[in-house]
A = this chain, B = another copy of it.
Amino acid sequence: MVDSQLWFSEYHTPHVYKSWKVKRALYSGTSKFQSIDVYETVEYGRMLVLDGYVMTTERDEYVYHEMIAHVPAFIHPCPQRALIIGGGDGGTVRELAKHPGIKEIILCEIDEEVVRVSKEYLPQISSALNSHDDRIRVVHEDGFKYVQQFADHFDVIIVDSTDPVGAGKILFTEEFYGYVYRALTRNGIMTNQAENAFYDLKIMQDIVQRLSVHFPYVKLYNAGIPSYPSGYWSFGLGSKTLNPLQQNGVERFRKSFPTRYYSGDMHPALFCLPRYQQEALDEATAR
């Protein structure tokens, strides 16, 4: 048999790209919103690609999903209601659903094709969407509009979006963060994917500056995610009253479920950033 030599490449800039050997293309389609591809790669397992950008891979998805979900959920002493905007692959839902106190998880993914394709081709990641967990509800609406109907409702909101280009751009605006703030309960916390400090430091500064218009506590934290550009990804965090450095759910964490990346010990350390990133954060929040 002749090797097909199928490779998927993602350009991080016009002058740098990363390539993965693909065993086979499992799915390729175009929804109302974007192109959707699923590749079976040799090294990273199955990979979800939207508009040509890697969203998640089986091999390292746990890092992203644990870190975007458990950091806010363990700062809060007992989160009961959560909203995820984006995140149609279901990985963030899966992690939040592990918290025993959680009573309601709404996944607001605008593109129902992403959910359908993930349920079919990425069962490891989307497992919670295929379960009969009645705490979980999936809605296919525009997150920017959807969140506006809530006030003082969610303990945790996670913005698990694509990059701030095209349809995803509105999820990085000051106005949107204001609606998120209002939809959160008094002790509510939000996190979002905040690009990477190597290629996108200016975008990251815009994110924290806009978050700080609304939230008294604004933080960044990082995690090593090999499938994303630079390999070291950032998350933004906004908190209304709870100091993010305090892991109020620490006892709950010790008694709860195993993790692979997140740990109680690392929690306060997460917010100690590389100096250039800390200075960029300080500069942006002082504006």
How far is the CB of A58 from the nearest CB of chain B, in Å?
14
Report how far A85 CA is from B222 CA in the complex, Å.
31
A259 CB-CB contact with B under 8 Å:
yes
Partner-contacting stretch, out of A173-181, A204-212, A273-281 = A273-281
A146 CB-CB contact with B under 8 Å:
no
Within 8 A of B (CB), among A137-195: none
A270 cross-chain contacts in B, Cβ below 8 A? 269, 272
A217 CB-CB contact with B under 8 Å:
no
Residue of B262, B266, B275 near A259 (CB, 8 A) is B275
Q: Which of A44, A226, A262 has the most CB of B within 10 A?
A: A226
Contact with B along A216-239 (1 / 0, CB 8 A): 000000111110011110000000
- A231's closest neighbor in chain B, by CB? B231
A223 cross-chain contacts in B, Cβ below 8 A? 274
Q: Is B15 touching A16 in the complex (CB atoms < 8 A)?
A: no
Q: A224-B230, A269-B272 are in contact. Are A16 and B16 (CB under 8 A)?
A: no
Q: A224-B232, A231-B226, A272-B269 are in contact. Are A16 and B18 (CB under 8 A)?
A: yes
A42 CB-CB contact with B under 8 Å:
yes
- A274's closest neighbor in chain B, by CB? B261
Interface size in chain A (residues, C-beta < 8 A): 43
- A263's closest neighbor in chain B, by CB? B275
Report how far A273 CA is from B223 CA in the complex, Å.
10
A134 cross-chain contacts in B, Cβ below 8 A? none
How far is the CB of A227 from the nearest CB of chain B, in Å?
9
A255 CB-CB contact with B under 8 Å:
no
How far is the CB of A32 from the nearest CB of chain B, in Å?
32
A60 cross-chain contacts in B, Cβ below 8 A? 198
Report how far A186 CA is from B269 CA in the complex, Å.
30
A262 cross-chain contacts in B, Cβ below 8 A? 275
Q: Is A274 touching B266 in the complex (CB atoms < 8 A)?
A: yes
A13 CB-CB contact with B under 8 Å:
yes
Report how far A270 CA is from B268 CA in the complex, Å.
11
How far is the CB of A134 from the nearest CB of chain B, in Å?
30
How far is the CB of A17 from the nearest CB of chain B, in Å?
5
User: Which residues of A line the B interface, CB within 8 A?
Assistant: 9, 13-21, 41-44, 60, 63, 197-198, 222-226, 229-232, 259-263, 265-266, 268-270, 272-276, 278
The 6 closest A-B pairs by CB, nearest first: A231-B231, A224-B232, A269-B269, A269-B272, A15-B21, A15-B42
